[in-house]
Amino acid sequence: MTVYDPNNIFAKILRDEIPSHRVYEDDAVVVFMDVMPQGQGHTLVVPKAPSRNLLDADAATLGPLFQTVQKVARAVKRAFAADGVTIMQFNEPASGQTVYHLHVHVIPRFEGVPLKPHTGQMEKPEVLAENASKIRAALAG
Ligand code: AMP
């Protein structure tokens, strides 16, 4: 199946039908914490416009999306005093995509600390809430 499914989990988060640890929202994007982080502060930037992934996205979605990716990358680097930031984005199952609404992973990186497995272990809600609050503060400051 390669059509957009409006009942994917991120579409439900965008419609506030299921909870998320939100960091930021504007007309074009929502930013929230990944529940199975590959590193401390792993954040997802999700455009509101529906597309399965980058391959079927409207080009007009990409400018605002990546402007926010840059803002969030700078904010997480500051919030966690990270040494670097990894940006990842998967398209279709062969690439590792598991949720079929376009999104970009923003992951703070620390020298010598490898990424944890993709969709590995669930993080505690209180840790996600605290990390979201640190990133919100960094975005505001
Ligand atoms: P991808 O494999 O690129 O489609 O990544 C999907 C990401 O969404 C994974 O990193 C999951 O840990 C994450 N994820 C899955 N369900 C949720 C959820 N309800 N809230 C936040 N992140 C989620």
| Position 63 in a domain | yes
* 3 occurs within a structural domain: no
Instruction: Tell me how many domains the chain contains.
Output: 1
Range of the domain at 32: 9-140
Q: Tell whether 55 is covered by a domain.
A: yes
> If pLDDT is split at 50, 70 and 90, which confidence band does 2 have?
confident
Q: Which residues surround ligand 1 with Cβ inside 6 Å? A: 9, 20, 34-36, 44, 90, 96-99, 119
* The 43-47 sheet, strands edge to edge: 22-25, 29-33, 43-47, 104-109, 84-88
* pLDDT given for residue 141 in this prediction: 86
Please write the tens of the pLDDT for every residue from 45-89.
Answer: 999 999 999 999 999 999 999 999 999 999 999 999 999 999 999
pLDDT for 115 equals 97
110 found inside a domain? yes
The pTM score is 0.98
Q: What CATH number does the domain containing 39 carry?
A: 3.30.428.10
Distance in Å, CA 10 to ligand 1 centroid: 8
- 14-45 per-position pLDDT tens digit: 999 999 999 999 999 999 999 999 999 999 99
Structure tokens at 55: 């391959």
> Residue 132 falls within a domain, yes or no?
yes
Residue 4 domain flag: no
What does the H/E/C string look like for 53-65? CHHHCCHHHHHHH
Q: How far, in whole angstroms, is CA 17 from its chain's centroid?
A: 18
Does 1 have pLDDT greater than 80?
no
Q: Output the average pLDDT for the chain.
A: 97
Listed residue (17, 39, 104) closest to 65, CA to CA: 104
The residue whose CB lies within 8 Å of the most ligand 1 atoms, and thus the one to mutate among 98, 105, 124, is 98
Q: What is the pLDDT of residues 85-95, one digit of tens each?
A: 999 999 999 99
> CB atoms < 10 A from the CB of 2, how many?
9
User: In angstroms, what is the span from residue 97 Cα to ligand 1's centroid?
Assistant: 9
pLDDT tens per residue, range 107-129: 999 999 999 999 899 999 999 99
Query: From the CA of 34, how far away is ligand 1's center (Å)?
Result: 6
State residue 73's pLDDT score: 98
Among all residues, which ones are annotated catalytic? 103
